[in-house]
């Protein structure tokens, strides 16, 4: 079994049960814009009318760029103590399952239902595939509603629901040990006062797995996302509350629809397509145009979706055009495929645009013309490219970025000016970098740099930058982007390597260096964190699309790691958290991007335990204790 996350051109699989040769075959398919996928039997199921096989926790096709929460196995091995055994430290993967379980436990606790023997008998669990009526109490950090039935301690996990809704759901799985059941949403019987169905813009909402929150006012979505960040640090950082600052209000996206610059609708192959690759002379063909769209929530079935309102106007036009093309060229397809739709922006000086040629551009049905404010001297000609070999261009303020299909780039352009400006104003200490004669920070390390987003947008603040990314494509794009933005190689260097190889290439003094980290969803690995702590930069800015693994890693930087003396003794990290805030890169979905800023503690200013002893003084005691 494996999962292909079509938005990311990445394949995810359960490595334990997936044959390595098949894995390398799949990997070799990466990077093609129209990628082969879906070796599961969804099409066959659809044809036979069978209930489709369910992923344990399905990946939504509209989610952010990084590997599937659903692809990780549930380990449920929580850190015993981040201050202790480092081999335990990175056992938490921040998966949907782990996150959901924390929320289930918390709900049962707050409802006083967590302890057996309180006189309340557990009602018999509903039959599988039967319908139940539940009242939703909370939204989990996974985006699903958590509901209860009267007189039962079982939590029902139901998507597309809001606290206060009474709904009918169809149960498909019980986990009696953990105390929750998974159920499909059927209908709302009594709506919550916070639900506003008039806000829903997509007719496929509550079927498509892409969005979870279209029925929620935007300020409610933002407030909910703040709680995701709060709970992530509470449950996954392993830090005492006093070391976690108040989480900032989630910063919203200027566009709440029409923001997504990349979409990857897909279609399944004809039934049994995988057994008809042509080698045995049989090639299945489509008898009719298959559904082209995204996955139905909770299944591996693709539903036909002709338009997606979270895509930008240019991408939506591209989607309509590509659907039409596929239906005309259906005879050329023998398997399923993913359509890669990416927005490309051409910036044209207004003076040039308002010449005769502009009529031609404006009449082009595939093009969208956008103007920003009057002071901006450009117009933006946006189109949708589907060629996997082409490079797309986009602008963030006056910075220009080009990106090949296979390399990561953030996919909500509307929030990027706000996001990069926030990082620009928090990356250096405020108000002055020169307090207490602290050396001025003039060097940037951009770990997991992608196409150079941070190196380039922060370049004015630093004299040198070093970016590293495992993807050679991203690094060549970062190098090109640096030169496009007049950043010479003497000021920005990039390396294509695993992030933990970074530390052998650093030449800048730690006290004058800030490290930005923006890893994939799984977070940093232990080797990276260990070396980062050993190097000890003055500041660390940790950006992440998975606040749970971010909280885990920050717990290590702040709480300490065995064998790495941050200068404050065994079991105590060298960093303190200055700020944490979420950014809403994906409105209408359950995702939140976290930005945490850490500063290195000053020598001799360790945390007080109430005994008046700090820093090294306290360390000596701890070292002494450890030796006993």
Ligand X SMILES: C[S@@+](CC[C@H](N)C(=O)[O-])C[C@H]1O[C@@H](n2cnc3c(N)ncnc32)[C@H](O)[C@@H]1O
Largest CA distance in the chain: 84
Q: Which residues partner with 276 through β-bridges?
A: none
Nearer to ligand X (CB atom), residue 144 or residue 584: 584
Assess 492 for contact with ligand X (CB under 6 A).
Answer: no
Identify the H or E element spanning 600.
strand 593-600
Contact, 239 vs 558, CB < 8 A? yes
Closest CA to 437 of 541, 506, 510, 511: 511
Q: At what angle do helices 218-236 and 96-110 cross, to 10 degrees?
A: 90
Nearer to ligand X (CB atom), residue 440 or residue 522: 522
3-state secondary structure of 394: strand
C-alpha–C-alpha distance, residues 536 and 560, integer Å: 12
Assess 495 for contact with ligand X (CB under 6 A).
Answer: no
Tell me how far CA of residue 442 lies from CA of 276, 284, 470, 536, 584, in angstroms.
59, 61, 25, 15, 30
- Shortest Cβ 410–ligand X spacing (Å): 5
Q: Which of 470, 506, 614, 623 binds ligand X (CB under 6 A)?
A: 470
Site map 9..48 versus ligand X, x via CB under 6 A: ----------------------------------------
- How is residue 367 written in tokens? 């093009």
Nearer to ligand X (CB atom), residue 333 or residue 454: 454
Nearer to ligand X (CB atom), residue 66 or residue 230: 66
Cβ within 8 Å of residue 403, ≥6 positions away: 391, 392, 393, 394, 409, 451, 477
Nearer to ligand X (CB atom), residue 542 or residue 568: 542
Please give the angle made by the CA atoms of 544, 530 and 455, to the nearest 5 degrees: 45
| Residue 212 backbone zone (phi > 0: left; psi -120 to 50: alpha; other: beta) | alpha
3-state secondary structure of 197: helix
Assess 585 for contact with ligand X (CB under 6 A).
Answer: no
- Shortest Cβ 354–ligand X spacing (Å): 34
Strand ranges in 229-340 using DSSP code E only, listed in sequence order:
262-263, 266-267, 293-295, 302-304, 337-338
Q: At what angle do helices 218-236 and 547-559 cross, to 10 degrees?
A: 40
Q: How many CA atoms lie within 13 A of 604 on its CB side?
A: 0
Please give the angle made by the CA atoms of 142, 319 and 211, to the nearest 5 degrees: 15
* Bond into 431 cis (ω within 30): yes
3-state secondary structure of 588: coil
Nearer to ligand X (CB atom), residue 286 or residue 401: 401
- Shortest Cβ 518–ligand X spacing (Å): 4
Site map 512..531 versus ligand X, x via CB under 6 A: ------xxx-----------
- Shortest Cβ 587–ligand X spacing (Å): 18
Tell me how far CA of residue 138 lies from CA of 141, 148, 486, in angstroms.
9, 10, 50
Nearer to ligand X (CB atom), residue 5 or residue 103: 5
Tell me how far CA of residue 252 lies from CA of 65, 259, 563, 574, in angstroms.
19, 12, 40, 32
Residues 440 to 469: which contact ligand X by CB under 6 A?
A: 448-451, 453-454, 468-469
- Shortest Cβ 499–ligand X spacing (Å): 4
- Shortest Cβ 448–ligand X spacing (Å): 4
Closest CA to 341 of 380, 287, 382, 379: 382
- Shortest Cβ 523–ligand X spacing (Å): 10
C-alpha–C-alpha distance, residues 485 and 122, integer Å: 64
Residues 57 to 86: which contact ligand X by CB under 6 A?
A: 66
Q: Which of 353, 408, 419, 585 binds ligand X (CB under 6 A)?
A: 408
C-alpha–C-alpha distance, residues 477 and 455, integer Å: 12
- Shortest Cβ 406–ligand X spacing (Å): 9
Contact, 245 vs 580, CB < 8 A? yes
- Shortest Cβ 390–ligand X spacing (Å): 19
Contact, 555 vs 82, CB < 8 A? yes
What Rg do the C-alpha atoms of the chain give, in angstroms? 26
Please give the angle made by the CA atoms of 130, 131 and 136, to the nearest 5 degrees: 135
C-alpha–C-alpha distance, residues 321 and 367, integer Å: 12
Q: Which of 471, 477, 479, 513 binds ligand X (CB under 6 A)?
A: 471
Q: Which of 324, 498, 608, 609 binds ligand X (CB under 6 A)?
A: 498
Assess 474 for contact with ligand X (CB under 6 A).
Answer: yes
C-alpha–C-alpha distance, residues 75 and 213, integer Å: 28
518 labeled binding residue: yes
Site map 272..301 versus ligand X, x via CB under 6 A: ------------------------------
584 labeled binding residue: no
Nearer to ligand X (CB atom), residue 237 or residue 471: 471
Contact, 580 vs 247, CB < 8 A? yes
Q: Which residue is nearest to ligand X (CB)?
A: 450
Q: How many CA atoms lie within 13 A of 389 on its CB side?
A: 0
C-alpha–C-alpha distance, residues 79 and 76, integer Å: 9
The residues annotated as belonging to the active site are: 545
- Shortest Cβ 455–ligand X spacing (Å): 9
Nearer to ligand X (CB atom), residue 29 or residue 614: 29
> Site size for ligand X, by CB under 6 A?
21
Assess 499 for contact with ligand X (CB under 6 A).
Answer: yes
Which chain residues interact with ligand X by CB under 6 A? Answer: 66, 408-410, 448-451, 453-454, 468-471, 474, 498-499, 518-520, 545
Can you say which residues are annotated as belonging to the binding site for S-adenosyl-L-methionine? Answer: 410, 448, 469, 518
Can you say which residues are annotated as belonging to the binding site? Answer: 410, 448, 469, 518
């Amino acid at each position: 079994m494996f999962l292909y996350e079509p938005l990311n051109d990445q394949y995810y699989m359960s490595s334990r049960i997936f044959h390595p040769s098949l894995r390398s075959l799949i990997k070799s398919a990466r990077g093609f814009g129209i990628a082969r996928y879906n070796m599961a039997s969804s099409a066959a199921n659809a044809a036979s009318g069978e209930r489709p096989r369910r992923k344990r926790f399905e990946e939504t096709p509209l989610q952010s760029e990084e590997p599937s929460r659903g692809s990780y196995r549930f380990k449920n091995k929580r850190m015993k103590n981040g201050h202790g055994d480092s081999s335990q430290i990175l056992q938490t993967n921040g998966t949907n399952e782990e996150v959901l379980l924390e929320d289930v436990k918390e709900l049962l606790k707050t409802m006083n239902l967590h302890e057996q023997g309180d006189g309340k008998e557990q009602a018999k669990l509903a039959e599988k595939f039967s319908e139940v009526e539940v009242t939703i109490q909370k939204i989990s950090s996974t985006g699903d509603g958590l509901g209860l039935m009267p007189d039962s301690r079982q939590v029902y996990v139901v998507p597309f629901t809001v606290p206060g809704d009474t709904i009918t759901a169809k149960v498909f799985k019980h986990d009696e040990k953990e105390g929750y059941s998974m159920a499909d949403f059927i209908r709302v019987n009594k709506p919550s006062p916070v639900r506003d169905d008039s806000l829903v813009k997509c007719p496929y909402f509550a079927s498509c797995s892409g969005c979870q929150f279209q029925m929620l006012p935007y300020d409610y979505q933002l407030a909910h996302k703040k709680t995701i960040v709060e709970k992530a640090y509470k449950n996954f950082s392993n830090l005492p509350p006093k070391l976690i600052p108040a989480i900032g209000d989630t910063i919203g996206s200027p566009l709440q629809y029409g923001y997504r610059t990349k979409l990857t609708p897909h279609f399944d192959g004809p039934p049994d397509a995988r057994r008809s690759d042509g080698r045995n002379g049989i090639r299945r063909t489509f008898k009719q145009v298959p559904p082209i769209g995204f996955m139905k929530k909770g299944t591996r079935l693709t539903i036909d979706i002709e338009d997606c309102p979270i895509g930008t106007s240019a991408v939506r036009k591209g989607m309509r055009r590509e659907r039409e093309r596929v239906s005309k060229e259906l005879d050329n397809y023998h398997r399923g495929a993913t359509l890669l739709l990416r927005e490309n922006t051409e910036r044209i000086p207004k003076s040039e645009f308002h010449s005769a040629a502009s009529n031609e551009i404006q009449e082009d049905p595939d093009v969208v013309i956008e103007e920003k404010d009057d002071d901006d001297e450009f117009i933006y000609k946006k189109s949708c490219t589907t060629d996997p070999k082409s490079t797309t261009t986009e602008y963030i303020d006056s910075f220009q970025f080009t990106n090949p299909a296979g390399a990561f780039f953030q996919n909500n352009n509307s929030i990027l000016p706000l996001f990069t400006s926030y990082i620009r104003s928090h990356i250096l200490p405020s108000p002055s970098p020169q307090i207490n004669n602290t050396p001025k920070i003039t060097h940037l390390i951009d770990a997991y740099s992608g196409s150079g987003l941070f190196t380039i947008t922060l370049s004015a603040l630093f004299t040198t930058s070093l970016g590293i990314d495992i993807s050679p494509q991203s690094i060549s794009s970062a190098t090109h982007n640096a030169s496009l933005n007049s950043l010479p190689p003497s000021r920005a260097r990039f390396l294509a390597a695993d992030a933990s190889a970074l530390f052998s290439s650093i030449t800048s003094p730690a006290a004058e260096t800030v490290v930005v980290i923006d890893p994939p969803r799984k977070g940093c690995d232990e080797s990276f964190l260990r070396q980062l702590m050993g190097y000890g930069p003055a500041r660390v800015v940790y950006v992440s699309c998975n606040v749970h693994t971010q909280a885990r890693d920050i717990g290590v930087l702040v709480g300490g790691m065995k064998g790495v003396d941050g200068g404050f003794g065994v079991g105590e990290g060298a960093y303190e958290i200055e700020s944490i805030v979420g950014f809403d890169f994906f409105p209408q979905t359950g995702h939140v991007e976290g930005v945490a800023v850490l500063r290195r503690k000053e020598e001799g200013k360790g945390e007080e335990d109430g005994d008046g002893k700090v820093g090294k003084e306290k360390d000596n005691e701890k070292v002494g204790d450890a030796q006993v």
